[in-house]
Amino acid sequence: MDFWDELFGTQPDPPTAVTLVTGAAALLLVLSGEPWRLARNVITIVHEAGHALVAVLVGRRLRGITLHSDTSGVTVSRGKPTGPGMVLTAFAGYVAPSLIGLGLAALMIAGKITLLLWVMTALMLAVLIMIRNVYGVLSVVLTGAVLVTVSLVTSPQVQAAFACLVAWFLLFGGVRPVWELQAKRRRRQARDSDADQLARLTGAPGLFWVAMFMLISLGAMVVGGMWLLEPVIAT
């Protein structure tokens, strides 16, 4: 009973300094070189989870997820190759980190820090079931192990700081891949990207879909950032 009370209970907001420091740390990580390349695996996991979740919601049959060491990934589903369901499935990947980051920011301001951590753990478990390669399994298991350790072992203060860092990271980290996508498209290195698949499915140019990804990612970053900074502004 204590677990359920703690899971759905309300925890205090992290101190102002923690909110600011974790936000700055997340931003530096996203803007970095090699550290970003390693951390980007988390963004890829969430990206592919977005494809997978929407595929299931629109009635497609999910066949599996593959994650690669170059931080790329592939989600395979079966169903009608055209139509709204396929469009939504292809669209979901690049916006998933930002929208999940926005959801986590909402949980943070509601004081649901423990629930936030276990939601992320459940997401990792759901993805793990569908992983179809060794590197992908290792990536998801390692990420899930960190989440479980923080949830079960650390103090409420550490949990709050970690949850805040994760929310910031997804909000900032959802923007850079969209920028990188368009840079690859300019060099003609992403002919099968989500944006180009959407272009073939809808007739709208790939640049339009990149702009849509960026608009949603930036919007989520601004709104989620304002939510996370609300206690800071209030003081």
Model pLDDT for residues 46-55, shown as the tens digit of each residue:
999 999 999 9
In angstroms, the CA 150 to CA 136 distance is 22
Residue 28: inside a domain, yes or no?
yes
| Burial letters 144-171, b for 16+ CB under 10 A, else e | bebbbebbeeeeeeebbbbbbbbbbbbb
Q: Which residues contact 57 (CB under 8 A, 6 or more apart)?
A: none
The DSSP letter of residue 14 is P
The pLDDT tens digits for 70-127 are 989 999 999 998 999 999 999 999 999 999 999 999 988 888 888 888 888 888 999 9
Average pLDDT, the chain: 91
Alpha-carbon distance 203 to 107, whole Å?
A: 38
Separation CA 40–CA 199 (nearest Å): 25
Confirm whether 64 is domain-assigned. Answer: yes
Cβ atoms within 10 Å, residue 1 = 5
Alpha carbon of residue 18 to chain centroid: 21
Domain region containing 75 = 15-234
pLDDT digits (tens, 9 = 90+) for 133-170: 999 999 999 999 999 999 888 888 898 999 999 999 99
Residue 5 belongs to some domain of the structure: no
Q: 7 in a domain, yes or no?
A: no
Q: For 179-220, write each residue's pLDDT tens digit.
A: 999 999 888 887 889 999 999 999 999 999 999 999 999 999
- Tell if the pTM clears 0.85, that is, is over it: yes
Q: How many domains does the chain have?
A: 1
Three-state SS letters, 95-149: HHHHHHHHHHHHHHHCCCHHHHHHHHHHHHHHHHHHECCHHHHHHHHHHHHHHHH
Q: Does residue 9 lie in a domain region? A: no
